[in-house]
Structure 1
Amino acid sequence: MSKPIGLLVVDDHPVVRDGLTGMFARDPEFAVLGEAADGAEAVRLARRLRPDVILMDLRMPGLDGVSAIRELAGQAPECRVLVLTTYDTDSYVLPAIEAGATGYLLKDAPREELLRAVRAAAKGEPVLAPSVAALLMNRVRKPAPGPLSPREVEVLELVAGGATNRVAAAELFLTEATVKSHLLNIYAKLGVNDRAAAITEAFHRGLLVPRQPD
């Protein structure tokens, strides 16, 4: 008989940990090596126990799941992390996968689906909940925003220099409404929500260049 798949269960809710531990304990194919209530404890236990698969919640006090996944990628890279959470939005899915998670499942997954996912994760095979797979597919299909137009760059340069919408409009012989429209397009293209973030992101991308002192 092959060696059982070693598991580490990470969740800040004791009831969830108990439920998962009990479920896997009934199957000789798996062995729960330990439990952790937060990300920091998960990293410590993973270094010591070297589980094959870590079932990782994301929202936890202290070190959260995504931060723990990043640390594990450097300190215990042989441990596969299978996220098990209730959240399937961009703000949770993408950071977790980028941090190094092998799979991403939701807590309402049926028992057999979870068992299959752990088996696959132990082999290094990616596992995604259907809603998560659809989300990632939609992001891949969505065309990337185009570059800023010359006029948008002019507006952003003035705003970065401290100009108000009214001043920028006068400088460029535009209406304030047109300047506002340009700013909204800039926000969408840069993936930000306000002018301060737009300026920061534009400098980061090299779209704006810091002025040299006279």
Structure 2
Amino acid sequence: MDSNYTIIIADDHPLFRNALFQSVHMAISGANLIEADSLDGLLNVLCKEPDPDLLLLDLKMPGTNGLSGLIQLRAEYPDLPIVVISASEEPSVVTQVKSHGAFGFIPKSSDMRELVKALNQVLSGEPFFPEGLIYHEFGSDLTDKISALTPQQYKVLAMLSDGLLNKQIAYELNVSEATIKAHMTAIFRKLNVKNRTQAVILLQQLEYEYS
């Protein structure tokens, strides 16, 4: 396949990122490849490249651990095709990735031929999920709750998890403290919790499920 595709590779392991880089070059001659090794780095890339053709996303890298990064990216960039590449290959993980809007899932154990096949398939507009995996039909109530948050609410929750106070979050997001309190009220309602500690615990549970 020969094209001017712009593809972002987001993975914090240099060796695997390099292998993936080579696989993409084999599959798509002339593609514009951009690398990121953290969620913050990826968000910076997306600010500069708002309309890439494909994002290859590792589930675990600095700034994200598990589905939380996928949920945030899906909320902020609903039209971006995201293919998750992960060493967590359990059917339950693949099911959750699929249910939260990923366009595909490529196991890190895939050999070069499988990677090239998967990349060609997704760039031709067809989702790619591993053959032979039995998908569970029921999603996680926890991930459904987290995915109900707006992108701004998710940012507030993530900052809560980092230990920031309302005043600090308001400063970081350049909004009033009253706005943050309103976000907190909405977050507590959507997550069905009573306080910030319970909300943070829920987010940590989601990340633990896929660690």
- Structure 1: segments with no counterpart, 5+ residues: 142-214
Structure exhibiting the larger radius of gyration computed from Cα positions: 1
Q: 94-103 vs 25-34, which deviates more?
A: 25-34
Partner of 1:64: 65
Partner of 1:76: 77
From the superposition, tell whether residues 32 and 19 of structure 1 become closer, same or farther in structure 2 (CA, over 3 Å).
farther
Partner of 1:130: 131
CA contact (8 A) 2:11 2:17 kept: yes
Q: 48-57 vs 71-80, which deviates more?
A: 71-80
CA distance in 2, matches of 1:54, 1:78: 11
TM-score scaled by length of structure 1: 0.55
Q: CA deviation at 1:53?
A: 1.2
CA distance in 2, matches of 1:120, 1:114: 10
Partner of 1:109: 110
- Structure 2: segments with no counterpart, 5+ residues: 139-211
Partner of 1:8: 8
Q: CA deviation at 1:91?
A: 4.9
Question: Runs ≥4 in structure 1, deviation > 4 angstroms?
Answer: none
Give the match's secondary structure for 2:134. helix
CA contact (8 A) 2:8 2:35 kept: yes
Partner of 1:187: none
TM-score scaled by length of structure 2: 0.55
CA contact (8 A) 1:39 1:67 kept: no
- Count of aligned pairs: 137
CA distance in 1, matches of 2:27, 2:117: 12
CA contact (8 A) 1:8 1:53 kept: yes
Partner of 1:93: 94
Partner of 1:39: 39
Percent identity, aligned pairs only?
26
Question: Can you list the C-alpha shifts for 1:69-123, whole angstroms capped at 9, x where unaligned?
Answer: 2222233233211111111125532332222111011112122321222222234
Counterpart of 1:119 in structure 2: which amino acid? N
Partner of 2:20: 20
Give the match's secondary structure for 1:135. coil
